[in-house]
Structure 1
Amino acid sequence: MTNNGTDLAIGYLSSSVAVLLFGSNFVPLKKYDTGDGMFLQWVLCAAIWLVALVVNLILRCPKFWPFAMLGGCIWATGNVAVVPIIKTIGLGLGILIWGSFNAITGWASSRFGWFGMDAEEVPKPLLNYIGAGLSIVRGCSLAVISGILYGSTFVPIIYIKDHSKKNDSIYAGASQYDLDYVFAHFSGIFLTSTVYFLAYCVAMKNSPKLYPEAVLPGFLSGVLWAIATCCWFIANHSLSAVVSFPIITSGPGFIAALWGVFIFKEIQGLRNYLLMILAFCIILSGTLCTAFSKI
């Protein structure tokens, strides 16, 4: 297999693992009372940071770029709304909506070079446009805002990589391997979530609502999310963000919907089942178009 073929295989395998874990990472929390979610977010982000520490040690501590923390800060800000979203509109619908806006923001910023990044080209641009369009056909304000913030989370890392090729840039010589930025990215997540939690404690007059029974499920959820995101970093490197974003952001919605149907009974009735099947067909079509646009 050629190097290009190997990269594609690694990229699509990593994308598949990311889709499965992103669609399942909130499942451990579903049956537990998580209150307003602020304590849960901090526990989840602590688990995320610990996974990043392990990955960083495995990679032998690559150079730390503080600007890469910004993406983590953006993600943590969007993640504040996750618990209210799941409680109000359900796990499946919530992930479908924020995944859609996540996809369009992340794909478009990479494809057209927003925020100072280099525009990415693909061999078959028409297929890429069709794939991205089909992946976001689904469409609740908190979920929309979260999706936009989530979609911006990789912008600082891609910006650093793009400008590492320019000798006059402060990022000249920076690594082109996305996983080298995991520790900085996840450190931004943990730092921001800690700031939000401390602000919450102040607002609650040092009487925050803590839910001990949610600690272990929250930690497991954070570990699953962190592993999924590491896979996403690998997919970004192997496929490029313009291909990986539509695939990884659209698939978890269907996985979450399956959990909602078979385990949590959030989706019931023939009409809703048919709509879910239609959504799956659209997502699968979008994913295949996006995948073939790289070949």
Structure 2
Amino acid sequence: MKASEEPMPKWAGFVGCIIASVFFGSNLLPVKQFSVGDGFFFQFIYCVAVWLVGLILDLILNNQRFYPLVLVGGVLWTTGNLATVFCIKTCGLAVGLLIWGTTSLITGWAGGRFGLFDMKAQVPTTETKLILNYASVILAASSAIFFLFIKSTTKTAALPREVSYLSSSDGESSIQLGKVGETADYSHQNIDDDFPFLNRLTDRVQKILGCAFAALAGMFYGSMFIPDQYIRDHASKYTYRGEPPPLSGLYYINSQYSGILLSSLFYFVIYAALKRNKPVMNPTVVLPALASGAMWGVANIGFIVAISALTSAVAYPIVSVLPGIVTSLWSLFLFREIQGRNNYILLGLGMLVRILAAVLSGLSA
């Protein structure tokens, strides 16, 4: 699709939201029962699968252009993803998810709505749609509070190893670790050898650092689509053989995924060097990581379609809340991790608020 052609229809954006929500909410299923160690090896294999999805898409589209600027978006995602490991170990998984999920939503939404970073502002066409859009963001951000107080009832004492929690819900962290026998709220008091310097810091300082890194990770997540949106908004600067860049975000996916792979490789090499060529690698996680990464790659394609058709001001509130519902349904019905009257009430209220937020955002399109 070239800039001179018609933009994507809105219905395609809503289909993209559904695809993104289902796959973002399910992409950690393949690795739930496997040890991912400290996450570096897992992320590298995961990112290889992501890149392969982008390559296949490029071949299907017969895309012959590459956008170096869009590599930055991939680097931002990988960096934010690694930062979440530190966040989980210091401020806890539940608090970390709340902080980086909220900052990611606000960053992604505000970037499009107000035209940050020299992008074109995406202003709703009527005052009613403007109010609906603001309301959807407020509801989406506040809905995470309900999930913060849900307690997992999974019995895990039988397996003496690390597992990955099924908690990634909106294209964000794919490295969420917990020791079996502990709760999903990875307390900052349970520090292992990955960050030994933390043992010299007080609990208060650890938590402050964790919250700060969680907010930074969220900003990185919410900024990953800014480079390709900037190119589309400044088409005259990026013409190639007299042709402007495409309007569809699909043509930028492989460039972004290449940034994800290259930055993941860079971080893994640094990590292996720091480990004196003895990185933590579990070979049994390779196939699950590939499957999980491929699912994330498909989900992100749905997300970029939603942004292309609906604008980021509309797509971000939707894709920030619906994957969490999918994840909760897996936890509720498949893994039986959520039980008890209070948990059911909190889950029901959280889902209701999130569905309302998605509906309001959709109506503002």
8 Å contact from structure 1 (residues 11, 236) kept in 2: yes
Structure 1: give runs of 5+ residues left out of the alignment: none
What corresponds to 1:129 in structure 2? 134
Indicate the structure (1 or 2) with the bigger Cα radius of gyration. 2
> What does the per-residue CA deviation read over 1:155-205, in whole Å, with 9 as the maximum and x for residues that have no partner?
1111111111xx4x3568222111000110000000000000000000000
Between 4-13 and 65-74, the greater mean CA deviation after superposition: 4-13
1:250 CA displacement: 1.4
In the TM superposition, what is the alpha-carbon distance from 1:97 to its structure 2 partner? Answer: 5.1
Q: 1:213 Cα shift?
A: 0.9
Distance apart, 1:99 and its partner CA? 3.1
Q: Quick one: which of 292, 300, 321 aligns to 1:250?
A: 321
Alpha-carbon separation, structure 1, partners of 2:96 and 2:49: 22
State whether structure 2 residue 71 is matched by structure 1 residue 69. yes
Deviation of 1:98 (Å): 3.5
1:132 CA displacement = 1.3
CA contact (8 A) 1:100 1:250 kept: no
The alpha-carbon distance between structure 1 residues 4 and 181, as it changes in their structure 2 partners (threshold 3 A), is closer
Partner of residue 58, structure 1: 60
Give the Cα separation in 1 of the matches to 2:110 and 2:34. 37
Cα shift readout 1:215-249 (whole Å, capped 9, x = no counterpart): 11100000000001111111111111111111011
Q: CA deviation at 1:89?
A: 5.3
Contact preservation (8 Å) 2:114, 2:121: yes
Q: Find 1:8's aligned residue among 7, 10, 15.
A: 10
1:200 aligns with 2:279: no
Alpha-carbon distance in structure 1 between the residues aligned to 2:19 and 2:98: 18
* 1:5-25 Cα distance to aligned partner (Å, 9 max, x none): 981211111101110110110
C-alpha RMSD of matched pairs (Å): 2.4
Q: Which region of structure 1 is more displaced relative to structure 2, 197-206 or 232-241?
A: 232-241
**Which residue in 1 is equivalent to 2:257?**
186
1:29 CA displacement: 1.1
Task: Indicate whether 1:239 and 2:244 are aligned.
Answer: no
CA distance in 1, matches of 2:96, 2:325: 11
Are the aligned partners of 1:43 and 1:219 in contact in 2 as well (CA < 8 Å)?
Answer: yes
* Aligned with residue 102 of structure 1, among 87, 101, 104: 104
Give the whole-Å Cα distance in 1 for the aligned partners of 2:314 and 2:141: 14
State TM-score, norm by structure 1: 0.90
**CA spacing shift, 1:6–1:36, aligned 2, 3 Å:** closer
Structure 1 residue 4: Cα displacement: 9.4
- 1:69-218 to 2 correspondences below 5 Å: 69-82=71-84, 98-123=100-125, 124-137=129-142, 138-139=144-145, 141=211, 143-164=214-235, 167=236, 169-170=237-238, 173-218=244-289
In structure 2, the CA distance between the partners of 1:177 and 1:4, relative to structure 1 (3 Å rule), is closer
Distance 1:275 1:171, change over 3 A: farther
Tell me whether 214-223 or 131-140 shows the greater mean CA deviation. 131-140
1:280 lines up with 2:282 in the alignment: no
Report the CA distance between 1:84 and its aligned residue: 6.6
In structure 2, relative to structure 1, the CA distance for the partners of 1:62 and 1:121 (3 Å cut) is farther
Superposition TM-score, scaled by structure 2 size? 0.73
Q: 1:162 to 1:71 in 2, by over 3 A?
A: same
Q: How far, CA to CA, are the matches of 1:73 and 1:5 in structure 2?
A: 28
1: CA distance between counterparts of 2:239 and 2:339?
52
Residues 55 and 239 (structure 1), Cα distance of their counterparts in 2 relative to 1, 3 Å cut: same
Amino acid at match of 2:138: G
Unaligned regions of 5+ residues in structure 2, if any? 146-209
* Structure 1 residue 267 displacement after superposition: 3.0
